[in-house]
Amino acid sequence: MTDDERLLRHFHDLAGKAYAQSRPVFTGFLNEAEQSLLLMHADEFSYCGLEFFGGTQGCQRQMACFSPEETTVYPIACIKIEPKQQKFADRLTHRDFLGAVMHLGLERDCVGDILVKDNLGMLFCTQTMAAYIAENIDSVRHTAVRCTILDKPPEEMLFKLEEQLVQAASERADAVIARLFRLSREEANTLFFSKKIAVNARITENNSCPLKPGDVVSVRGYGKFIFDGVVSLSKKGKCNCRVRLYTQ
């Protein structure tokens, strides 16, 4: 049995439990490849319902919820991690915060996205592991930190949508991505072939697929955006596309 087959069997077990017990059942945090696999087989779970959420809008790592009824409460906690003395702190990166968390020996699916801004980290994790993480992280890199479990993420740390106009040769995914992130078409295509691009959470290697209004595109290492469509054509026939880029 392949890894994908084992994961699908696990999803079916969770969905069956949700249906039999008439209650929501959640996965751990899934990466984009795992979300993509689940969405490819979404029809198999139509009897119990399927939704995704990562703690806030724009998260890449998300839990899946199997539920016969609509639900909005996910077992996700938010932890603020901040230097005790900011002026003596190292410059902390996403990798530094993730390293401190994973050093605790946790399974990766216990940990969601980590948002970093002005040396402050905001971590999404499973509720069952929140207290353990908060009690055991006392330093990140060489910087002493304090952890606080929050009722909700602070507004200033959340993703915001920044509207931009992108002029591309067409609505093809590779053309829009190349222009938005200032890449060559060859560089953009390499990302497709490396399975680093997801459209509506489904990983795609089809660099020529046309984007449709409302499509959510994630480019690992570069960012995430919503494609709102072509608003006009330039005098040379190029497409002026409106996108909304997730920023902090």
In this prediction, residue 97 carries a pLDDT of 96
- For 121, the enclosing helix (H) or strand (E) is strand 120-126
Fold annotation for 3-66: Ribosomal Protein S8; Chain: A, domain 1 (3.30.1370)
In this prediction, residue 158 carries a pLDDT of 84
pLDDT per position as a tens digit, 115-138: 998 899 999 999 999 999 999 999
pLDDT per position as a tens digit, 161-198: 999 999 999 999 999 999 999 999 899 999 999 999 99
In this prediction, residue 226 carries a pLDDT of 95
Say what percent of the chain tops pLDDT 70: 99
Say what percent of the chain tops pLDDT 90: 81
pTM for the full predicted model: 0.84
Q: Is the pLDDT of residue 16 over 80?
A: yes
Averaged pLDDT score across all residues of the chain = 93
Q: Is the pLDDT of residue 210 over 70?
A: yes
Q: Domain segments of the chain: what residues?
A: 3-66, 76-157, 160-247
In this prediction, residue 248 carries a pLDDT of 77
Q: Which CATH number applies to 160-247? A: 3.10.290.10
Residue for token digits 């899946």?
64
Q: Is the pLDDT of residue 71 over 70?
A: no
17-43 burial, b if ≥16 CB within 10 A, otherwise e? ebbeeeebbbbbbbebebbbbbbeeee
In this prediction, residue 88 carries a pLDDT of 84
DSSP 151: S
Whole-number Å distance between alpha carbons of 225 and 217:
5
What phi and psi values does residue 95 have, to the nearest 5 degrees?
Answer: -60, -35
What CATH architecture does domain 76-157 belong to?
A: 2-Layer Sandwich (3.30)
In this prediction, residue 132 carries a pLDDT of 97
In this prediction, residue 154 carries a pLDDT of 86
In this prediction, residue 153 carries a pLDDT of 87
In this prediction, residue 155 carries a pLDDT of 85
